[in-house]
Structure 1
């Protein structure tokens, strides 16, 4: 259900939704149901909320259409299972003629959730609370804690991710977007340190961006207190786009690879590789930022924009 958008067009529905959301408890319930189903007892334990309060708030959210519930057999009779029905909310105010783009699926991938990698020092990973494994040792990328990384870096190599292919049935992909906060990797930092950073999708090279440097003069807005000020601080938010005409970085065309060349709808996942080519002109490494480091509160974001086949 990721990427489902609720568009509200009339005053009656707006009032119903706004009332349902005017509660911190109900917002917390929607948050814990972000990517999983839970029964009432699980929600109560997760939020340390009395069971009667959970029941009342679930009913309000259900009436507003923001969650769905059904009953399943449990160890002590049936249990009520709750799931979130939407990921985004669009409100069309009276008189608005804008045609909202509701045919959108968005997937957020934590940077530590890579499925494959090859790295060479300088290299390392950091979480909100500290380093993962040993600095400048590629074995750190095998540590179980790597999934919690909020910053990773390497001088040469790549990381590879598998995004779930959540396109609806009978849909036609029109555009794929990948956005991430990224920069070069120098010892400590060096704002004049170019690096050619390349992205591949399903094995197709969609484009290379030359990062101008490794930024460290100004502290990253999201960096945890323990992170030293003499290290990399933030990156630039870059967007790779592939549509029916070609591939682009921040709107500038950089190759003729089109969305049909990616064969997205042939697999249940989308393979994304981010790295430095062996024959790159500027081998300056990369830093990849998660939502708890740098200046942008996001992980790697993939967006599918699609139409339905007739």
Structure 2
């Protein structure tokens, strides 16, 4: 599935573009009056399940089941956010669904390379206290000691954090020789790093790809007080529990985070054909306006069962001819 972003004046429209095979599964999900009504409600704003159930006049359990089906189809996204206590808020993920009725359309998924990088598999780092690494059952090394970031056990890390600094990862460059990279997308669960946790704790988090600075996103806070879905029971509720799932995308139009353009760096600026790897660096600069630190979550901490996922999309020779 591919996402086209159309900018008209100041409105960003998120399109879900499907081929016929993909459309069959999505049509099964939306072939329900209840689920269509949920999408109509979410087209006006973001709501929790209780609010949606009240608007539909349905029991909470019925509404929750249908919300989950829409989540599984990626038609809506649900995040834990602060406000009247931490709560799950659902938001529509797309504005339009477009179905390509052409058998010879490029299969975007066929030309997509997906790699889920463990958060402990960084090849370079710089961390300043407060900082640390956390595994499935205990800390890795010593808390607030930058030397712990070089422990062999770092590869088992499920959570890492620091006040300022960065971690850098190198993904194997599997784009076929002769193919043209069309889009890179990275996703990771992140938040600020405060003592214990603090909902109002902004932090300027920057991403670099192949040494090109893609842009900076300001995390609103460090989320805790309610256990993350995947956070182990031994981890104190007083500490960071979960983050927000952020998506960085670079294509021929520029660089985006969650569909919003953040810089003019284009995929051609990354010189992907010059290296056997694709580097991804994330961190907090020492001169950042908001020095709020960084928490980076693995699959066994937080709300999302993933490390740092890279999707690399490309056009092969025949596809390039068709697109021209």
* Residue in structure 1 matched with residue 278 of structure 2 by the alignment: 270
Are the aligned partners of 2:193 and 2:292 in contact in 1 as well (CA < 8 Å)? yes
With the length of structure 2 as denominator, give the TM-score of the two structures.
0.65
Distance 1:225 1:119 in 2: 26
Q: In the TM superposition, what are the counterparts of 1:1-310 in structure 2 within 5 Å?
A: 97=101, 100-101=107-108, 102-310=110-318
Greater Cα radius of gyration, structure 1 or 2? 1
With the length of structure 1 as denominator, give the TM-score of the two structures.
0.68
Q: Would you identify which runs of 4 or more consecutive aligned residues in structure 1 move more than 6 Å? A: none
For residue 130 of structure 2, give the secondary structure of its aligned residue in structure 1. Answer: strand
Distance 2:150 2:122 in 1: 10
Tell me, which stretches of 5 or more residues in structure 2 are unaligned?
1-18, 22-99, 319-324
* Residue in structure 2 matched with residue 64 of structure 1 by the alignment: none
Q: Aligned-pair distance for 1:300?
A: 0.2
Distance 1:273 1:120 in 2: 16
Distance 2:278 2:291 in 1: 26
Q: Aligned-pair distance for 1:8?
A: 12
Are the aligned partners of 2:181 and 2:315 in contact in 1 as well (CA < 8 Å)? yes
Distance 1:184 1:145 in 2: 24
For residue 241 of structure 1, give the secondary structure of its aligned residue in structure 2. Answer: strand
Tell me, which stretches of 5 or more residues in structure 1 are unaligned?
1-6, 10-95
Q: Aligned-pair distance for 1:271?
A: 1.4
Q: Aligned-pair distance for 1:97?
A: 4.8
Q: How many residues matched?
A: 219
For 1:157-176, what per-residue CA distance to the aligned partner results, in whole angstroms no more than 9, with x for missing partners? 00111111011222100000
For residue 268 of structure 2, give the secondary structure of its aligned residue in structure 1. Answer: helix
* Cα RMSD, aligned residues only: 1.8
Are the aligned partners of 2:20 and 2:101 in contact in 1 as well (CA < 8 Å)? no
